[in-house]
Copies of this chain bind each other. A is one copy, B any other.
């Protein structure tokens, strides 16, 4: 029950919130992050999302310190014990993670000396604000590196370090809308959900374009939809690696179709390169993302391929576009061209450190190793009779969705419909993949109750040639 919190009356206040620490059972659940209520229920092999519930049972309550806390140290001891257990759990969860494109292998010990500072790059990276505890000099170094990667001159680009891939997409699409206020947003239906969120937030007309089995945008459908909406400019989200299948949209063909369909000088392209924006430059035969082509913005995540303890990303656009969204904020002695106001100043330090240490050569090696390991995984899965697909330019292996929620949770697999995926990141070794496949094969035989395994058909998701159901296995 929520009591009456009386302003400035600490007696009543403390009665209401409860002075007594919760009993040990309450603060020490068997395993810290195991929630007592599952997040979804099994429903025909598909996880159902239950909306509107509040799960408080396994959270760590905040308790009011005792008056004599400084003497007893109870609160400190309680927190230390919770944190120690939580840390052990993080170690374990980090070890068994395969489903999200996060590189969990990083080493930023040299930066721990900076943790005690409230570093905030509020406002524009290129205009000094009055707040002095910032890391703009590192941020601009990182931005310069990315602008060079995507071939935009220092004096021709603008960008900033974002909080995540979503912020990059929100920013890129917002620029597109400000440049073409009546533009229609086109995005393949396998685009990241933040793209459709942007359309809704910004009240933009949005056209969903079909995809090929690979997950790439279906360019014939794209062209048809362009022609249907020819009177309005086009704002196009191009996926440089889709979320689920790691598919890369054909940027050159998208541009060609726009120009051929009468959209010349009436289109804006945002490239969502959350994961692949940093892998593609190092993949042979990959189509090139570059500002020498008529694109408007590119975004990439920092916590994905690079690896970073906090989510972050990089957004680069043309300086000529940025005035479309910016406005002066005298309070900051800066301009307001970013989505967020206060911005995490530690993120640029992580990126600056990682880029300096690894360099282009380091990333190249890691990309190559990831692609090889992904091929290895796909081979192992197919050899075990499990349908699986791997796009040529990708390290995302898509396969038959495991029917065991416990297994999915243990390996933290991202699932959609009948399929799941593993994203091979630099921290995913071949040894780990072997353990994973062996365990998958073992639990799979349990699902079939020891009888013959009848693989489900996933041809619609991964193509006939990658499906191992009885029908497609025999070449039909």
The interface residues of chain B lying within 8 Å CB-to-CB of A384 are none
Quick check: is A115 within 8 A (CB to CB) of the other chain? yes
The CB with the most chain B CB atoms within 10 A, among A137, A194, A281, is that of A137
Quick check: is A253 within 8 A (CB to CB) of the other chain? no
Q: Does A281 lie within 8 Å of B7, measured CB to CB?
A: yes
Q: Does B120 lie within 8 Å of A311, measured CB to CB?
A: yes
The interface residues of chain B lying within 8 Å CB-to-CB of A116 are 106-109, 309
Min CB gap A223→B, angstroms: 27
Q: Residue of B at shortest CB range from A60? A: B141
Min CB gap A397→B, angstroms: 16
The interface residues of chain B lying within 8 Å CB-to-CB of A326 are 51
Min CB gap A342→B, angstroms: 4
The interface residues of chain B lying within 8 Å CB-to-CB of A5 are 148-149, 151, 281, 290
Interface-side segment among A126-134, A437-445, A468-476 = A126-134
Interface-side segment among A79-87, A209-217, A260-268, A448-456 = A79-87
The interface residues of chain B lying within 8 Å CB-to-CB of A151 are 2, 4-5
Q: Does A118 lie within 8 Å of B7, measured CB to CB?
A: no
Min CB gap A12→B, angstroms: 11
Quick check: is A283 within 8 A (CB to CB) of the other chain? yes
Q: Does B127 lie within 8 Å of A62, measured CB to CB?
A: no
Interface-side segment among A231-239, A356-364, A375-383, A458-466 = A356-364
List which A189-243 residues lie within 8 A (CB) of chain B.
192-194, 197, 201-203, 243
The interface residues of chain B lying within 8 Å CB-to-CB of A47 are 330, 333
Q: Does A17 lie within 8 Å of B148, measured CB to CB?
A: yes
The interface residues of chain B lying within 8 Å CB-to-CB of A166 are 339-342
Quick check: is A20 within 8 A (CB to CB) of the other chain? no
Q: Does A33 lie within 8 Å of B132, measured CB to CB?
A: yes
Instruction: Bits for A1-16, please: 1 = Cβ < 8 Å to B, else 0.
Output: 1101101101001101
Instruction: Bits for A320-363, please: 1 = Cβ < 8 Å to B, else 0.
Output: 00110011111111111001111110100000110111111110
The interface residues of chain B lying within 8 Å CB-to-CB of A61 are 141, 144
Quick check: is A412 within 8 A (CB to CB) of the other chain? yes
User: Contacting A54 at CB < 8 Å: which of B110, B126, B281, B303?
Assistant: B126
Indicate the size class of the contact surface on chain A: 35 or more
Quick check: is A434 within 8 A (CB to CB) of the other chain? no
The interface residues of chain B lying within 8 Å CB-to-CB of A111 are 83
The interface residues of chain B lying within 8 Å CB-to-CB of A412 are 130-133
Q: Does A117 lie within 8 Å of B131, measured CB to CB?
A: no
List which A369-421 residues lie within 8 A (CB) of chain B.
408-409, 412-417
Quick check: is A184 within 8 A (CB to CB) of the other chain? no
Q: Residue of B at shortest CB range from A153? A: B2
Quick check: is A276 within 8 A (CB to CB) of the other chain? no
The interface residues of chain B lying within 8 Å CB-to-CB of A148 are 2, 5, 16-17
The interface residues of chain B lying within 8 Å CB-to-CB of A164 are 340-343
The interface residues of chain B lying within 8 Å CB-to-CB of A286 are 7-8
The interface residues of chain B lying within 8 Å CB-to-CB of A283 are 7-8
Q: Do A144 and B32 form a contact, CB below 8 Å, given A132-B412, A340-B166?
A: no
Quick check: is A136 within 8 A (CB to CB) of the other chain? yes
Q: Does A118 lie within 8 Å of B303, measured CB to CB?
A: yes
List 19 interface pairs A-B (beta carbons < 8 Å), by A numbering. Answer: A1-B153, A2-B152, A8-B284, A8-B364, A17-B148, A32-B137, A47-B333, A51-B323, A51-B335, A52-B322, A54-B126, A61-B144, A64-B359, A90-B114, A94-B118, A99-B130, A106-B116, A112-B112, A243-B331
